[in-house]
Structure 1
């Protein structure tokens, strides 16, 4: 059989032809390889250079190679975080005419690391919790798309830190199955495999002395189950909010925040019986919100202030007619963010008299107003709006705060 290269891009076959396919992958000369850290795999995997791209090459039988290639393409179509499938190379023969295994070629995920490389310097427990959160987010997203992984583990995941966010990417789809919808039993099976695999991998790290002494491998394996179930429930339960009760949406955002997740994207669908809300979670690192708010709006705020303002910005953007995530014809987030500053943030802050602001900066004032609106809306059981919140805050809250801050006479 002649060498065959099935590729997603017409340019790739010509680049891939330069590689030594007549040599078993384990024996590829160093001149073709790129020295990058590799995770544990049941197959032989090497990183190589094809033109300007770094690729991962994995040897496996033809049928599973073609199957995984198609699954990875399906996941890309569904916008699931996974490595990009570039090609499958079949019909390989050695210099003596012997048959060699086909290979699956994927694009190397820039800036990513396998978990063992991350543990070369002992990770703090807090960082490990964030990595488990990222893996829980990935597993939830896979299940929402109808993908049963079949072998969720740290070894089959790549982690990347991007602009303060931790993200997990599926790197091995060999055992996966794509369905229109997963049953509860299929999800539970995947979750139980994840628990066992992760605990086992952490026990190996513990035995090698690479695990923080305060980390219990069994507890961490169980933790991902709890994080997954909490997130799944919060994301998948149907919520239809009556008109005028947008503080209910904020309540759900707060619950996600309490779970350790932030809202990366929010979609509101208008219907006759109310508004349906869909959330997309994101795992973030310290300082992320400050950087994100500064990039989008130019506002410089403390981390907690920035987080609160970004939640309000996201809620406001979702109500705009020209907000269409992923639609090239929709308004860009930066455009909407500056509109929010001009039409919402600045007018609201200016409604608070300068003489009553004290030492509070604009971001803190707006944060306080959002908190006050939340409190009044919960008490009234409907969204009272910012104008009402500002008026009540100026009349009832600020005067008391100023009296408290004024020095008393001796």
Structure 2
């Protein structure tokens, strides 16, 4: 089987590394890949951008790719799965309609409300005046989110009214997030512990991956600016058997069923970002239509099952009675980032003195070049 992985992050390095271990797979391509995937002896980088949907589908067609797995959210939200399917190509990931679950916070919140799936109280706005009035009525802390995709930078936790006003104006007036921020969602601030709950689904059956937890604040002590994630570990101790069952019963299956009723059958990875309170109440913070980054890395370290086989079975609607096997050991991933990240950071610097890999230790690359 020939497999194409789309993306250039640590997530895609981890996915391609795991896929390459499958006895069913004889060729693994990553588009565009990174310096780490280039170093892997059994993985080939392809110089096509992850947002070049036509270029990717043409490559897959010409090279008789049997399975394509999409890493990042942008191609999914922009309809890569629909494009591939129109050409008779097997692409693992939700359609453009189903990916609205991640592509629009407003759509997601309405969907959760309509399907009685627990989430924070919210309201959506397109005008500054109405948004500021709402914030003044509700008080702080409060959360302001850009409606669309903003590369993980579209969320502000405002501790004061002034911080909230600044975030509203930056998004709706200054348009710092472009089209993605022309509408915002303002929601109540939830307290508790976050966990990442990821499943693979064929639209009927959902199989959970090991739980995980990422940490987004850049600096020690959970301080500093929010990032895409400075590290993650698996499993997440907060997700015990009771919480696990509650998330599957009250969040995952109602989501899959709700999308099916809308005519958007969901096939792919589904990531529920959860807030778990001290009283074990659960609420959905966000949905992602793909694997998390950096959660993928520790999860792939623990996965013993054949990822290529399970993704292929999901595409064929054959997940019923399938299971995943896990290494019982815990896994931790720590992100090394360039100085200045996530703002204006140094680029093109040589990376030196990386430790030697061995069993139980792996260096995954994100956005590096050889």
State the structure with more CA Rg. Answer: 1
Higher strand share: 2
Please report the TM-score for the alignment, with normalisation by the length of structure 1.
0.23
Please report the TM-score for the alignment, with normalisation by the length of structure 2.
0.25
Q: Which structure carries more relative contact order (alpha carbon 8 Å, separation 6+)?
A: 2
Higher helix share: 1
